[in-house]
Amino acid sequence: MSEYFSLQGYKVDTASELEEAEKLLGATNYKVVIQDLRLTMTNSQDGLCMIKLIRAHNPQTRIVILTAYGSAEVEDEARRCGADAFLRKPKPLSQVAQVVQGLIESPPRHAARPA
């Protein structure tokens, strides 16, 4: 996925562990984060915590969840935590890219609105 998006002209950072992702989020304001719901082999709660962390760091960052472990309940919870899109694996990278581009082009729903 990293190679695909790099070839499409995106600047891509990757993290394989929660701590690594936290460091990257602290150093960069991302337009879009694509993350798996399960950051460990047994726990989807890490992925939900990551969504909340991204929202706290930069409410305008768009979040795409890409997971093989989705259910309607988990998708609802991810959206309540702030996910903008929820995609189930396997998904062609071209379709993921379409979702990413659509999110970049649309205003964030989580951003603070003027009073």
The one-digit pLDDT tens for each residue of the chain (115 residues) are 999 999 999 999 998 877 888 899 999 999 999 998 876 655 556 788 889 989 988 899 999 999 887 789 989 999 999 999 999 999 999 999 999 999 999 987 654 433 3
Q: Does domain 2-6+20-105 have CATH number 3.40.50.2300?
A: yes
Res 109: pLDDT: 67
3-state secondary structure of 56: helix
Euclidean distance between CA atoms 48 and 52, whole angstroms:
7
pTM of the entire predicted model:
0.86
3-state secondary structure of 115: coil
Res 85: pLDDT: 96
Q: Is the dihedral of CA 22, 29, 84, 113 positive or negative?
A: positive
Amino acid at 69: Y
